[in-house]
């Protein structure tokens, strides 16, 4: 057991016995306030002609734990909350809805700029604490959870700077702090680099699709002289056809087996509902049916079938579309599109993904208030149809881009898992990184 000092909600000092394994040599429990420096506030309106970058709470991403954007202000027009001057290496901890974990390390380019008073600005006393180590300590689930327990208010839940600074952390020797900070920074940087690759790949995918569905599979050089024609779906190559979806595919409906028949829900056949269409390619689902469940309450879609959400609140934001990669059943809120012999299934999937915005005006509301797309509206959707070989070329290129995107997303998830595990281990001393006897790394 260890005695941990903290503050009660009414400001009284207290100590709590916390079960903790034996700490590594040189580690200690300290109040955050005792290893940080005081910061000051300043009203930038006192210098009306100066310009400064402002960091608001929404500027900090809880996913990347970094400042993603700033707003440039002149002192005369400074927001009323722009009162905290920040330095490179400061840690920003959002005191509004702290459980969202909006925590960031101030980068060098924001030296002597301003942040909102909705942040607690934590400045390390570098004689005792390494700024990067403190940043990761404050971003840890345990610290965020303990601070969040102090929040008050329902519409604007928040904690105070005092709540943050009076909390405790485990503090290793300074050299070990730097080592831990370096390890976690390396993983965080790799994670950030992967996120940038994902964003760039998504932009590339969008750009390629725009080119294909305007100029066809022609190279950018050849596209300059391509002969185009105006159609219901905009300009397309002159040699392409445009036809309605119902002319090149069959549309079928699914269903939901009775929940009172557990034997129908005890198999291994994936059963898709709108919540499963978060990914563009479906390989598995949360729920599974038995063969009797499919035969008596649903319908089976083969690999290569395209599923489109036609009913549900999810249509308020988007029209989810997914390509089925293994046989699966589906419910009545989805419509299955089975490509006919004149269209490549993968090409049709990409064409529908590109054109699904045309379905937005067709979204209506049923008598019960449910958002829906009528089957006839979906069937009449115009689809650009190039020759078969061009369909294959377009599908093959876009599939290669999607494979790259899937690889990078998997890498990002792996790095996120590694970062979370290392953060939990290293911040508690379980993943002790120094050799205690020799003091070497």
Contact in structure between 135 and 198 (CB atoms under 8 Å): no
Residues 140-194 have pLDDT tens digits of 999 999 999 999 988 889 999 999 999 999 999 999 999 999 999 999 999 999 9
Q: What is the mean pLDDT of residues 262-290?
A: 92
- Give pLDDT, residue 368: 72
Q: How far apart are CA 308 and CA 337, in angstroms?
A: 8
Q: How far apart are CA 383 and CA 372, in angstroms?
A: 21
pLDDT score of 55 more than 70: yes
Average pLDDT, the chain: 89
Positions of CATH 1.10.287.1120 in the chain: 173-224+388-434
Q: Is 277 helix (H, G, I), strand (E, B) or coil?
A: coil
pTM equals 0.79
Residue predicted with more confidence, 434 or 347: 347
- Give pLDDT, residue 241: 95
* pLDDT category of residue 364 using cuts at 50, 70 and 90: confident
In the block, tokens 């008050």 appear at 152
Positions of CATH 3.90.220.20 in the chain: 2-171, 241-385
- Give pLDDT, residue 424: 86
- Give pLDDT, residue 21: 55
* pLDDT category of residue 131 using cuts at 50, 70 and 90: very high
Q: Which CATH number fits domain 173-224+388-434: 1.10.510.10, 1.10.287.1120, 3.40.109.10, 3.40.50.261?
A: 1.10.287.1120
Contact in structure between 54 and 31 (CB atoms under 8 Å): no
Number of other residues whose CB lies within 10 A of the CB of residue 255: 15
Residues 294-329 have pLDDT tens digits of 998 899 999 999 999 998 888 877 889 999 999 999
End-to-end CA distance of the chain: 28
Q: Is 167 helix (H, G, I), strand (E, B) or coil?
A: coil
CATH architecture of 241-385: Alpha-Beta Complex (3.90)
Q: How far apart are CA 309 and CA 297, in angstroms?
A: 18
CATH for the stretch 2-171 = 3.90.220.20
Q: What are phi and psi of 174, to 5 degrees?
A: -60, -40
- Give pLDDT, residue 102: 96
- Give pLDDT, residue 10: 45
Q: How far apart are CA 398 and CA 392, in angstroms?
A: 10
Q: What are phi and psi of 66, to 5 degrees?
A: -155, 160
DSSP 375-411: HHHHHT-EEEE--HHHHHHHHHHHHHHHHHHHHHHHH
Q: What proportion of the chain, given as a percentage, has pLDDT over 90? A: 74
Number of other residues whose CB lies within 10 A of the CB of residue 377: 17
Residues 399-409 have pLDDT tens digits of 999 999 999 99
> Which of 100, 129, 115 is CA-nearest to residue 39?
115
> Which of 55, 168, 144 is CA-nearest to residue 106?
55
Q: What is the mean pLDDT of residues 347-354?
A: 95
């Amino acid at each position: 057991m260890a005695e941990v000092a903290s503050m009660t909600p009414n400001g009284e000092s207290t100590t709590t016995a916390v079960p903790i394994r034996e700490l590594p040599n040189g580690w200690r429990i300290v109040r955050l306030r005792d290893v940080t420096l005081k910061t000051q506030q300043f009203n930038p309106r006192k210098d009306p002609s100066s310009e400064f970058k402002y960091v608001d709470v929404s500027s900090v991403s809880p996913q990347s734990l970094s400042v993603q954007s700033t707003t440039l202000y002149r002192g005369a027009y400074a927001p009323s909350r722009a009162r905290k001057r920040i330095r490179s290496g400061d840690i920003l901890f959002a005191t509004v809805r702290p459980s969202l974990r909006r925590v960031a390390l101030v980068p060098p380019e924001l030296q002597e700029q301003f942040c909102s008073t909705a942040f607690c600005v934590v400045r390390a006393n570098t004689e005792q604490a390494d700024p990067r180590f403190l940043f990761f300590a404050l971003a840890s689930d345990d610290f965020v959870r303990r601070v969040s327990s102090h929040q008050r208010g329902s519409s604007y839940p928040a904690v105070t700077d005092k709540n943050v600074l009076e909390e405790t952390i485990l503090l290793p020797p300074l050299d070990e702090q730097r080592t831990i900070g370096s390890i976690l920074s390396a993983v965080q940087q790799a994670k950030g680099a992967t996120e940038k690759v994902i964003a760039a790949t998504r932009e590339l995918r969008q750009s390629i699709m725009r080119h294909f569905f305007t100029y066809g599979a022609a190279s950018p050089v050849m596209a300059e002289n391509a002969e185009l024609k105006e159609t219901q779906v905009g300009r397309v190559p002159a040699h392409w056809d445009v036809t309605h979806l119902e002319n090149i595919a069959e549309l079928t409906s699914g269903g939901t087996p009775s929940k009172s028949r557990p034997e129908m829900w005890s198999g291994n056949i994936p059963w898709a509902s709108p919540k499963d269409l978060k990914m563009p390619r479906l390989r598995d689902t949360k729920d599974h049916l038995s063969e009797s469940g499919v035969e008596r309450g649903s319908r089976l879609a083969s690999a290569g079938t395209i599923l489109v959400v036609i009913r549900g609140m999810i249509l308020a934001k988007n029209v989810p579309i997914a390509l089925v990669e293994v046989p699966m059943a589906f419910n009545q809120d989805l419509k299955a599109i089975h490509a006919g012999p004149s269209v490549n299934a993968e090409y049709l999937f990409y064409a529908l993904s590109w054109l699904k915005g045309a379905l937005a005006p067709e979204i209506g509301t049923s008598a019960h208030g449910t958002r829906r797309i009528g089957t006839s509206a979906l069937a009449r959707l115009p689809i650009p149809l190039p020759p078969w070989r061009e369909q294959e070329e377009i599908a093959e290129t876009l599939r290669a881009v999607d494979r790259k995107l899937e690889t990078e997303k998997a890498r990002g998830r792996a790095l996120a898992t590694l970062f979370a595990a290392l953060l939990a281990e290293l911040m508690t001393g379980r993943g002790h990184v120094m050799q205690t006897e020799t003091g070497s790394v």
